[in-house]
C-alpha cells in the first residue's frame, strides 16, 4: 500500500485525474516486482495456538514416516534439506533431543557459521516447529530466513517457534546456531508446520481496490469543477 503515498508527491498544477493512468501503471509495475523488491517483514510466535490462529492451510512434517538416516541431506515430501552442519540426522525417538519419542531432525554443529537449509518446493508465508536444545554450553538456536537472523532457542530449553511473513512469500529457511561453547549438542526439531498467513491481500484482491481509488479520484475531480 506504499503506492498510495504517491498522491502526496503530485506537483502543484497537475491534477490527480490527469496522472490517474500512470498512477495505476506504476502500481501494477510495483506489484509485479514486490515479492523480491525488499526484505520481508516478520512476526514471530512462541505460542502455538497464536501461530495457528494467524495461519491457514498448514501442512506438517513429523519425520515419523521417514526412515532414520545419518546423512546430512534429505529429500522429504514438501522440501529437501541441504546442510553443511556436522549432523543433520533423521533420528529415532529414543535419542537425545527427541520431542515426543518419535523420529525427529537432530542437529549437531561444531561451527556456528554452518547451517541446514530447508528448501521448500512451493513458496509460503508461515513456518513453525517444536524444538529442544540439549546443549550444556551456551549455543543458542538460530533461524535464518530471507537473510535475517531470528534467535529462538536457548540452551537447556525447549518450546515452539513460529514465524510469518507479513508482506510476501519465502521458500527456504536455515537452521543454525550462535557462537556458544564447544559444539551445539544437540538440537531437536520436529512437527514442522508450514503454510500461509491468513488474510494477505493478493494482487487479484488489490486490483479492484486500486480501480476503486481511480474512480474515486475521478469523481472527486468532477465535484471540484467550478
Ligand atoms: Ca516426529
Ligand atoms: Ca549461525
Ligand atoms: Ca555448546
Q: Record the pTM.
A: 0.74
Residues with CB under 5 A from ligand 2 (ion): 112, 142, 176
Could you tell me the distance, in angstroms and rounded to a whole number, from the CA of residue 177 to the centre of ligand 3?
Answer: 9
Could you tell me which of 207, 205, 202 has the C-alpha nearest to residue 123? 202
Could you tell me the distance, in angstroms and rounded to a whole number, from the CA of residue 7 to the centre of ligand 2?
Answer: 43
Q: Which ligand is nearest to the CA of 190?
A: 1
Could you tell me the distance, in angstroms and rounded to a whole number, from the CA of residue 125 to the centre of ligand 3?
Answer: 31
In the block, cell 535464518 appears at 144
Question: pLDDT for 152-184, tens place per residue?
Answer: 999 999 999 999 999 999 999 999 999 998 999
Q: Which ligand is nearest to the CA of 113?
A: 2
Question: pLDDT for 31-69, tens place per residue?
Answer: 555 555 689 999 999 999 999 999 999 999 999 999 999
Cα distance between residue 140 and residue 182, in whole Å? 12
Using 50, 70 and 90 to split pLDDT, how confident is the model at 217? Answer: low
Using 50, 70 and 90 to split pLDDT, how confident is the model at 23? Answer: very low
pLDDT of residue 225: 52
Which domains are assigned to the chain?
Answer: 2-37+205-224 (no CATH), 42-197 (2.60.120.260)
Could you tell me which of 153, 173, 169 has the C-alpha nearest to residue 161? 153
Question: pLDDT for 63-115, tens place per residue?
Answer: 999 999 999 999 999 999 999 999 999 999 999 999 999 999 999 999 999 99
Amino acid at each position: 500500500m506504499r503506492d498510495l503515498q504517491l498522491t502526496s508527491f503530485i506537483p502543484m498544477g497537475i491534477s490527480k485525474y490527469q496522472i490517474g493512468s500512470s498512477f495505476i501503471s506504476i502500481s501494477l509495475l510495483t506489484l509485479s516486482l514486490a515479492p523480491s523488491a525488499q526484505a520481508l517483514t516478520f512476526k514471530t510466535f512462541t505460542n502455538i495456538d497464536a501461530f495457528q490462529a494467524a495461519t491457514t492451510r498448514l501442512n506438517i512434517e513429523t519425520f515419523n514416516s521417514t526412515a532414520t538416516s545419518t546423512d546430512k541431506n534429505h529429500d522429504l515430501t514438501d522440501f529437501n534439506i541441504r546442510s553443511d552442519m556436522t549432523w543433520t540426522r533423521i533420528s529415532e525417538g529414543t535419542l537425545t533431543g527427541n520431542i515426543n519419542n518419535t523420529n525427529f531432525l537432530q542437529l549437531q554443529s561444531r561451527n556456528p557459521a554452518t547451517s541446514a537449509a530447508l528448501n521448500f518446493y512451493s513458496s509460503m508465508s508461515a513456518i513453525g516447529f517444536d524444538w529442544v536444545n540439549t546443549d550444556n554450553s551456551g549455543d543458542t538456536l538460530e533461524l535464518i530466513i530471507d537473510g535475517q537472523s531470528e534467535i529462538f532457542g536457548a540452551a537447556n530449553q525447549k518450546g515452539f517457534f513460529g514465524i510469518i511473513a507479513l508482506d510476501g512469500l519465502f521458500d527456504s529457511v536455515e537452521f543454525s546456531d550462535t557462537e556458544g561453547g564447544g559444539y551445539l549438542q544437540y538440537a531437536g526439531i520436529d512437527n514442522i508446520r508450514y503454510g500461509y498467513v491468513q488474510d494477505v491481500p493478493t494482487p487479484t484482491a488489490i486490483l479492484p481496490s486500486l480501480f476503486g481509488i481511480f474512480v474515486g479520484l475521478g469523481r472527486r475531480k468532477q465535484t471540484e469543477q467550478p
